[in-house]
């Protein structure tokens, strides 16, 4: 059996926490609606959380292809560029920290001085 990717681990753990189930009960083949009992609102909430966690947007047209836990994982892995079975990545590439870039001195605005209104 191949090791689980970081994306898969995060998604399964989030689902288990949301559903108050043991993570071992969240299998790749589990149907989100039939097996895990997610209704339409819960599906939207789940996908919103995934969008936030992985810094991506899931178009409405793609929702119909996401029916199982495995579908969610595969979809996210394809979007963030994490290969399936890659356990070495601790965070998806899309949310990795970016180095800070200093603005040129000519573009930095000097702070405005407060005016005194004494009479």
Q: Which domains does the chain have, with CATH numbers?
A: 6-106 (1.10.1200.10)
Mean pLDDT by 10 residues, the chain (119 residues): 82 89 93 93 88 89 91 93 50 36 46 54
Quote the tokens at residue 53: 């966690």
How remote is the C-alpha of 42 from its chain's centroid?
A: 16
31 noted as active-site residue:
no
pLDDT in the model for residue 89? 38
How remote is the C-alpha of 43 from its chain's centroid?
A: 14
Burial class (CB in 10 A: 0-12, 13-18, 19+), 86: middle
pLDDT in the model for residue 83? 55
Q: What is the DSSP string of 10-44?
A: HHHHHHHHHHT--GGG--TT-BTTTTT---HHHHH
Q: Cβ of 49: how many Cβ atoms within 10 Å?
A: 14
Distance CA 36, CA 16 (A): 10
Q: Which of 22, 31, 35, 39 is catalytic?
A: 39
Q: Which residues contact 63 (CB under 8 A, 6 or more apart)?
A: 43, 47
């Amino acid at each position: 059996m191949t090791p689980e990717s970081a994306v898969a681990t995060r998604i399964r753990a989030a689902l288990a926490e949301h559903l108050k189930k043991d993570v071992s009960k969240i299998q790749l083949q589990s149907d989100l609606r039939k097996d895990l009992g997610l209704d339409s609102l819960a599906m939207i909430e789940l996908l919103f959380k995934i969008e936030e966690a992985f810094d991506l947007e899931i178009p409405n047209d793609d929702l119909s292809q996401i029916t199982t836990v495995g579908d969610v994982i595969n979809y996210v892995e394809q979007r963030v560029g994490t290969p399936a079975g890659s356990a070495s990545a601790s965070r998806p590439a899309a949310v990795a920290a970016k180095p800070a870039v200093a603005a040129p001195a000519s573009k930095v605005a000097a702070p405005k001085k407060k005016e005194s209104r004494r009479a």
